[in-house]
Amino acid sequence: MAIRNIRLEKDEILRKKSRVVEKYDERIKELIEDMFETMKVNDGAGLAAVQVGILKRIIVVEIPDHKFALINPKIIETEGEQECEEGCLSLPNQFYKTKRPMKVKVEGLDEDFNPVTIEAEGLLAVVLSHEIDHLDGILFIDRLER
Ligand code: NI
């Protein structure tokens, strides 16, 4: 396992669209392990592969009671709205209030490449929305209310 460098706000890669992961192999497994470790040492709640410079649709999440990776995640349903205080490891020391869905339903593949559906609410819904945005080149500052 290794800690990878986190790409910061001005890095153009953060604005690119990540590619669908077509097959599971050792490199994907290692990338996910590194992402967990990189997230942990940086005290993050979530991390997308693009943030370590890899344009693949992979995210990792770690909050109390939830720790998992998702490959090719897609939000298929949202419900309600919540206001939250958001930050991002690519935008250190920036925290702003945003609005996110209260609940999200997400489909994707788990770490073993098996299909999963996750129904999330509260903080987990915020983290999933934030990380899945990264896969389309969207940063949370794009969603601030003007
Ligand atoms: Ni982020």
Q: Can you name the residues that pair with 54 across neighbouring β-strands?
A: none
Name the active-site residue from 22, 33, 131, 145. Answer: 131
Residue 43 Cα to ligand 1 midpoint, Å, equals 12
SS3 11: coil
**Each residue's pLDDT expressed in tens, for the chain with a length of 146 residues:** 899 999 999 999 999 999 999 999 999 999 999 999 999 999 999 999 999 999 999 999 999 999 999 999 999 999 999 999 999 999 999 999 999 999 999 999 999 999 999 999 999 999 999 999 999 999 999 998 76
In sequence order, the β-bridge partners of residue 96 are: 86
Q: Do 45 and 127 form a contact (C-beta atoms < 8 A)?
A: yes
pLDDT for residue 146: 60
pLDDT at 103: 98
127, 46 contact by CB (below 8 A): yes
- Whether 131 is catalytic is yes
Cα(112) to ligand 1 centroid in Å equals 24
